[in-house]
Amino acid sequence: MSLEHSHPVKLNELYRDVIMDHYRRPRNKGDLPDPTVAVDLHNPVCGDEISLKLLVEGGTIRKARFEGRGCSISQSSASMMAQQLEGKSLAEAETMLGRFKEMMRGDEQAGEALGDLVALSGVAKFPVRVKCALLAWEALERSLEQLR
């Protein structure tokens, strides 16, 4: 088998490993006392739940925490998102949100600037799972709207 044929398979394995690592050992999961903003979302179709809490000071997200339950895609997406949000300005969070949504619509280039989040790019090929990946991001979008 040529290298170019095995490369996509290895990349898919790497992506799957990143997703499962965040699912098994979520980052930034837990409660956040006295958040600046808190949003709870539930996907009634599959039962996934996300509670996102942000502590914002001076236009910068100082802490991002989530709690929830659901499939590996929804929980991994929340873990990766929360981890990357800390230290970002609200404008940077808005840009991340836009790029992630573009990636979920199949724009592969949008994922290049998202670090580990690019591992979720393959979800775009499964429309039924896109809502899982977007749940935490919808909570972020509502949080940013409340902060405006």
pLDDT tens for the chain, residues 1 to 148: 333 344 555 657 657 899 999 999 999 999 999 999 999 999 988 899 999 999 999 999 999 999 999 999 999 999 999 999 999 999 999 999 999 999 999 998 898 889 889 999 989 988 889 999 999 999 999 999 999 9
Q: Quick one: DSSP state of residue 140?
A: H
Give how many domains the chain has, as a whole number.
1
Question: The CATH number of the domain where 136 resides is what?
Answer: 3.90.1010.10
For the entire predicted model, the pTM comes to 0.90
Predicted pLDDT at 51: 98
Predicted pLDDT at 3: 38
Contact 146, 138 (CB under 8 A): no
Predicted pLDDT at 12: 72
Predicted pLDDT at 139: 98
| φ/ψ (deg, to 5) at 38 | -140, 135
Contact 21, 37 (CB under 8 A): no
Contact 96, 110 (CB under 8 A): no
Distance from the Cα of residue 130 to its chain's centroid: 11
Quote the tokens at residue 45.
């179709």
Which domain does 95 fall in, by range?
3-147
Predicted pLDDT at 126: 87
β-bridge pairing 60-69 and 37-42 = unpaired
On the 0-12 / 13-18 / 19+ scale of CB atoms within 10 A, 46 is: middle
3-class state of residue 148 by DSSP: coil
